[in-house]
Amino acid sequence: MKKNFKVSVVLPAYNEAQNIEEMLRQLLPILKKYSAYEVIFVNDGSKDETLSILQKMHQKNPAVHYVSFSRNFGHQSALRAGLDYASGDCVITMDADLQHPVAMIPQMIDAWLSGAEIVNTLRQENSNQSWLKRKTSNLFYSILGFMTNIHVPRGAADFRLLDKKVVTALKKTTERNLFLRGYIYWMGYKQVFLPYQVAKRFKGQSSYTLRRMMMLAWSGITSFGIMPLRLASVLGFITTTVGFLYACYVLYMKIFTDMFVVSGWASVLVSVLIIGGIQLIIIGILGEYLGLIYLETKHRPSYLVSQSTLSKED
């Protein structure tokens, strides 16, 4: 079993000025039990005092570091930056708002010491999360499971421990629009899941609005499969079959009976509208994927750093 190892804790922070000091007050006593540690806050273009507080904290304790973005690049990019800069033998990512209990850290490290390469956590449903958030999150994981072959368990969050070799592998991916939750699952390795109770946000407000959650959900679905594209073939097949059956019916009536079948224009109108609608939807989906390809081919970095107390590990 490893004895001397370094623990890195990565915390994305967007407007978390009120939470940082409390976070460190709870986190540091736990980390001090290990032989070496570092805490890396990723300031994701906060508009409040987050950066100046981080500068102050770094002066107080040189093991508390920060990487400050040039603007807001989003939670997933902040996580990625934290992993890029972390140098620990294991790296823990967690929220900076105290929703992820620091008390879980020793348990996660123990699981890692007993051989797990990725220690995931699973949020147990409780009332500290809003009803809407719980329902939309469950719905999302069901759709994701259906649309892709990535079966991320319900309640998975970006609160996890990664072994150094997983971090190294992760750094090598050049995918810009990375959906970490699915990607980690896709990576394989020896993974375990630990349940935890989500706490209430210490101070401030969640920055994941419904719109942002939907964007994250869409990026999760599109980055892991082409099922929406396949929908085109399926719908096309169905409408063609229906059209063909209808044509058979009309022909039969015309040839074998003397009934008048060319009755309403309503049926024509309805089918034109439906097929037109389906076509527009499919073109939209094609466009979405085309857009994603376009964004990826530009090879833009996922984030830009304006200042930092660390240099990037290679």
Q: Does 207 bind ligand UDP (CB under 6 A)?
A: yes
Nearer to ligand UDP, 82 or 88 (CB): 82
State the minimum distance, in angstroms, from the CB of residue 13 to ligand UDP. Answer: 5
Q: Which two tokens stand for residue 309?
A: 């107390």
Q: Does 44 bind ligand UDP (CB under 6 A)?
A: yes
Positions in 72-101 near Mg ion (CB under 5 A): 95, 97, 99
Indicate which single residue of 74, 82, 182, 220 sits in contact with ligand UDP (rule: CB under 6 A). Answer: 74
Stretch touching ligand UDP by CB under 6 A, among 71-79, 103-111, 177-185, 236-244: 71-79
Indicate which single residue of 8, 12, 119, 181 sits in contact with ligand UDP (rule: CB under 6 A). Answer: 12
Contact between 38 and 65 under an 8 Å Cβ cutoff? The reply is yes
Indicate which single residue of 24, 83, 96, 170 sits in contact with ligand UDP (rule: CB under 6 A). Answer: 96
Instruction: Return the percent helix, strand and coil in the chain, to nearest 5.
Output: 50, 15, 35
Q: How far apart (Å, rounded) are the C-alpha atoms in residues 61 and 39?
A: 10
Nearer to Mg ion, 84 or 158 (CB): 158
Buried b or exposed e, range 63-76, using 16+ CB within 10 angstroms = bbbbbbbeebbbbb
Q: Which two tokens stand for residue 195?
A: 């349940």
Judged by DSSP in three states, 161 sits in strand
How many chain residues interact with ligand UDP (CB under 6 A)? Answer: 16
Positions in 208-227 near ligand UDP (CB under 6 A): 208
Read out DSSP for 88-151?
A: SSEEEE--TTS-S-GGGHHHHHHHHHTT-SEEEEEEEP-TTS-HHHHHHHHHHHHHHHHHSS--
Nearer to Mg ion, 99 or 148 (CB): 99
Q: Does 95 bind ligand UDP (CB under 6 A)?
A: yes
State the minimum distance, in angstroms, from the CB of residue 171 to ligand UDP. Answer: 19
Q: How far apart (Å, rounded) are the C-alpha atoms in residues 275 and 294?
A: 28
Q: Which two tokens stand for residue 178?
A: 């990375």
Contact residues for Mg ion (CB under 5 A)? 95, 97, 99
Q: What is the contact surface with ligand UDP in residues (CB under 6 A)?
A: 12-14, 16, 44, 72, 74-75, 78, 95-97, 99, 206-208
